[in-house]
Amino acid sequence: MTRVVILISGRGSNMASLLAAGESGALRATVVGVIANRADAQGLLTAAARGVPTRVVDHRSFAEREEFDSALAEAIEVFSPDLVVLAGFMRILGAAFVRRFDGRLINIHPSLLPAFPGLHTHLRALSEGVRIHGCTVHFVTADLDHGPVIIQAAVPVLDGDDEALLAARVLAQEHVIYPQAVRWFAEGRLRLQAGRVLLEAPPAGAGVLIAPQPDACPRC
């Protein structure tokens, strides 16, 4: 079983979707720890209620980002993870941290990267008048929100959408594609080649994790 550590900063809804997928047997992966950079992160309570060990590494306790990154990395290593998952983790990680977990650090971003990296993606999508928006799971690199893409889901931008409506529709697809990406990793199906992710054939007898959603593009 692939050992997974999840990093969060808030409610951890994507974390909860991964925990649910693991509990259902849909993932050959076990969440062995959840770490937050805020002691008041609501997701810590969710994880603890499901019996998952939790830790807090408060970024405000460190004068320099590098010191926080080092302490966070040490907290992660205690769990001996195969994969580190960023699930609403609202801190920029330095290059040394990223190198330490190279090839086993993934993130989900609420846009169809490379469009709209950074914050306020839904508001920016509406302001630009795009007709298709969505979310992306990618390997993390030192370039913010620009790592190799694993999977994306697209949703239409509808007339009458506001930021909250669009965000909710995208979040529903985040809960679909993040467990799928982790499953592919756990099955050893993801291969990096020349900065791109190649998805290899499924192992014999592998089942289907999820049914495609009507407005999703599972591998855009």
Just list the catalytic residues.
Answer: 109
Cβ neighbours, 10 Å, residue 99: 11
**What's the rounded Cα separation, in Å, for the pair 170 and 164?**
10
Q: What is the CB neighbour count within 10 angstroms for residue 72?
A: 22
The β-bridge relationship of strands 190-193 and 105-109 is unpaired
153 CB-contact burial (10 Å; exposed 0-12 / middle 13-18 / buried 19+): buried
**Alpha helices, H only, 187-211:** none
DSSP 23-37: HTT--SEEEEEEEES
For residue 195, count other CB atoms closer than 10 A to its CB. 11
Q: Report the alpha-carbon distance of residue 81 to residue 49 in Å, rounded.
A: 21
Query: Among 19, 131, 5, 15, which Cα is nearest to 74's?
Result: 5
Q: Which two tokens stand for residue 87?
A: 């699930």
